[in-house]
Chain A
Amino acid sequence: MLLINQNELLAEGNHVIRTAIEKCIQCGTCSASCPLSQYMDYTPRQIVTLVREGLIHEALKTKTIWLCSTCYLCAVRCPAKINIGEFMTVLKRFTLKNGYSDNLLYPKLMRTYVEYVDKYGRISEPRLMIKFSLKINPFKLLKMLPLSMKLLRDGVLSFSLERVQNLHEVKA
């Protein structure tokens, strides 16, 4: 396992990581505001503590960072003006770069999404959902069937996809 230190993390998301390390007063407003904190293994406030203590490896292994939906309620409420949603985004990116989250669902979803964008320049949500479900658990698709039928009836669901014409411009 790679040993990661604060400086490497600082290089990745300098501003937001530095602000959190230097300015957080550990008030817990972020944790109290977070719609998902009750399902996290560490609260957002505790993630700041881990990073501040240099326990980067522990922070990157938490479920917390992948449960952050980047809703930014923490960010607008933090008395020290720290954008914890952005802080989580940097941690996510850093985790992926250091390659120890390959079996988690959320990174898989993101990769499927990125594959689509790289290939077509745009995405089709229904196709993305199907491809993702096939990757992780095909039975999930059966569960989605009733709703899909309803959406099809309402004319909301379509599997067509318009791709970008000048794809080379997107790729470059």
Chain B
Amino acid sequence: MIGRNLSYYPGCSCSKYGTGRYYGSSSIAVLKALGVDIKEIEDWNCCGSNLYRVIDEKRAYLLGVRNIAKALEMNLPEILVLCPACFLSLNRTLTEVSTNKELKNELKEKYNVIGSPLFSKLRIRHIIDFLVNDIGEEAVKNRVEKKLEGLKIAAYYGCQITRPYGYFDDPEFPTSLERIISWIGGQPVESSLKTKCCGGMLMLTNEKEVLNVIEKILKSYAKVGAEFIVTACPLCHLNLEIAKTRLSEKAGLDKDIPIIYFTQLIGFSFNIPIEELGISKAVAERLDRKIALTVAARGEVNG
């Protein structure tokens, strides 16, 4: 996979000081280990998210477009994104600018690159899509140093990775993360609520309702025997962390059930130092202990 170049849009959450910073750092480390070079878009700004779009739609697109223009100036036809909300809003901006002639003409004057041939080729890629469809099974498997044997891992996708557009997987029952989990040796377990919304920003305004929704989600994870939960969205991640301390026991889950980004888990199986991945010692020990137990149990059966 050597020689693949993409520009990288971290977005506020996954950047240096964001709550999803380890989603960012672990993704960069994993891609590097796979020989992929990503270059951060210089001086990027807010993606112009759904929140902004409610207040001022046009300006939300203008915010999004500045990032797109900066990526194009780097002469790279693909932008890699981690945060599902950024992924959705950059894609929406791209669609809007491509189809709205008036807006496009206005923007061409501001950014030359908007009229360039590269613009029509530009794709916004989510890291899950890139790992599953471009890097692929063999390259990932080849890089695994520590198989996550015996680990029952459940993925929580949240809503906006695949909706509303379903760019790279089924909008309701995607399976990309389960495939990745099995490539690194884990045993994927699936909750039927894996793409149910976590409530997002409503956690700040309607806490009670949102906690009720998350309780249902956590129960469904307990039902399928999840021992580790992996996430792919900084906001879902934060909400699950908030809810976990209060609700896991009620939902029938271990109160310390580790919730980590799927890229942290991949990095762990690649033997990337846990400091770089942002995995705590306690979680790393838990992962190691579980793997050791499985290996020992298998030894007894075979011996």
A interface list, Cβ under 8 A from B = 35-36, 39, 66-67, 69-73, 75-77, 83, 85-86, 89, 92-93, 96, 105-106, 109-111, 113-114, 117, 121-126, 129, 132-133, 146-147, 150-151, 154-162, 164-166, 169-170
Question: Given A72-B164, A121-B46, A170-B66, are A110 and B51 neighbors across the interface (CB < 8 Å)?
Answer: yes
Q: How large is the interface on B (under 10, 10 to 19, 20 to 34, 35 or more residues)?
A: 35 or more
**Main secondary structure on A side of the interface with B:** helix
In the complex formed, the residue of B with least CB distance to A154 is: B280
B interface list, Cβ under 8 A from A = 12-13, 15-19, 21-22, 43-46, 50-57, 63, 66, 159-160, 163-164, 166, 171-172, 195-197, 199-202, 204-206, 209, 212-213, 238, 241-242, 245, 278, 280
Contact A123 B46 (CB under 8 A): yes
Contact B213 A36 (CB under 8 A): yes
Contact B196 A35 (CB under 8 A): yes
9 further contact pairs, Cβ within 8 A, besides A75-B163, A154-B280, A164-B44: A69-B159, A89-B50, A106-B201, A110-B51, A114-B55, A146-B245, A147-B241, A155-B278, A158-B21
Contact A72 B163 (CB under 8 A): yes
List B contacts of A158 (CB < 8 A). 17, 21
List A contacts of B278 (CB < 8 A). 154-156
In the complex formed, the residue of A with least CB distance to B69 is: A169
List B contacts of A66 (CB < 8 A). 205
20 residue pairs from A and B, CB less than 8 Å apart: A36-B202, A67-B206, A69-B202, A73-B195, A76-B164, A76-B166, A106-B201, A110-B55, A114-B56, A121-B45, A133-B204, A154-B278, A156-B22, A156-B278, A158-B17, A160-B17, A162-B17, A164-B43, A164-B45, A165-B43
Q: What distance in Å separates the Cβ of B178 from its nearest Cβ neighbour in chain A?
A: 19
List B contacts of A170 (CB < 8 A). 45, 63, 66
